[in-house]
């Protein structure tokens, strides 16, 4: 990681990553770019803004005060894709136990490679649709722009217990989706801005109880 990126994480998110964590992220970035060169995980344009659009966005979960990644939490990332936020969280927060779910085998193959290369014992990639999995015990269900909130709740319902919380990345449709899912009085929204030249607005929807 370069000094500018380190400064952004500290100033915007209050995160000060240990040198060994920074080195792991650098190793992960190298693996990601090499893999993406022959197996498409994301567009070339997005790779050029990998930190600004994806690493920062994954770590922005700390904007939600109810989510403390230094605690021993069981987390399920639904539709993790190339590993956002699952891999980034697994690298930066060793206390989290993260089940990363995606139905696209090539993406889970990459996550298994990262798990092996970086020694991420707290990362558990699963190649499946979340609705087909046996019920999982989880404290938080995460999802980054995978589906509308009502749809996500529907196909994740077997994994949602009384104590399970939802923390979802969203952009322009957040308020609309909250109303659609009838969650107006059950959630909080935390806003933030990506450190891109355009300063894209993003938010987190935190659902404490369904």
Per-residue pLDDT tens over the stretch 17-29: 999 999 999 999 9
Mutual angle of helices 105-118 and 19-38, in 10-degree steps: 150
Q: Is residue 180 a contact partner of residue 150, using CB atoms and an 8 Å limit?
A: yes
Each domain of the chain, given as residue ranges in start order, spans 3-207
CA angle 79, 83, 85 (to 5 degrees): 80
| Residue 30 pLDDT | 97
22-62 pLDDT, tens digit per residue, is 999 999 999 999 999 999 898 887 898 999 999 999 999 99
| 3-207, CATH topology level | Rossmann fold (3.40.50)
**Tokens 């659609």 correspond to what residue?**
180
Read off the pTM: 0.96
Task: At 29, list the tokens.
Answer: 């970035």
Query: Quick one: 95 exposed, middle or buried, by C-beta within 10 A (0-12, 13-18, 19+)?
Result: exposed
- Inter-residue contact 111 to 122 (CB < 8 Å): no
* Residue 150 backbone zone (phi > 0: left; psi -120 to 50: alpha; other: beta): alpha
Q: What's the pLDDT band for 210 if we cut at 50, 70, 90?
A: confident
């Amino acid at each position: 990681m370069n000094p500018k990126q380190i400064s952004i994480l500290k100033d915007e998110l209050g995160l000060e990553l240990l040198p060994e964590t920074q080195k792991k992220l650098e190793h992960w970035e190298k693996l990601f770019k090499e893999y993406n060169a022959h197996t498409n995980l994301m567009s070339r344009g997005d790779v050029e803004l990998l930190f600004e659009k994806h690493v920062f966005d994954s770590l922005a979960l700390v904007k939600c005060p109810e989510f403390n990644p230094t605690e021993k939490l069981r987390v399920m990332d639904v539709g993790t894709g190339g590993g956002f936020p699952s891999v980034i969280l697994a690298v930066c927060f060793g206390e989290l136990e993260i089940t990363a779910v995606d139905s696209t085998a090539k993406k889970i193959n990459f996550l298994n490679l990262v798990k092996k290369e970086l020694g991420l014992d707290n990362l558990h990639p699963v190649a499946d649709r979340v609705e087909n999995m046996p019920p999982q015990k989880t404290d938080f269900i995460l999802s980054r722009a995978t589906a509308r909130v009502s749809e996500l709740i529907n196909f994740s319902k077997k994994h949602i217990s009384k104590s399970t919380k939802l923390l979802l990345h969203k952009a322009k449709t957040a308020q609309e989706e909250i109303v659609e899912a009838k969650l107006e009085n059950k959630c909080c929204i935390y806003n933030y801005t990506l450190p891109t030249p355009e300063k894209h607005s993003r938010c987190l929807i935190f659902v404490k109880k369904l």
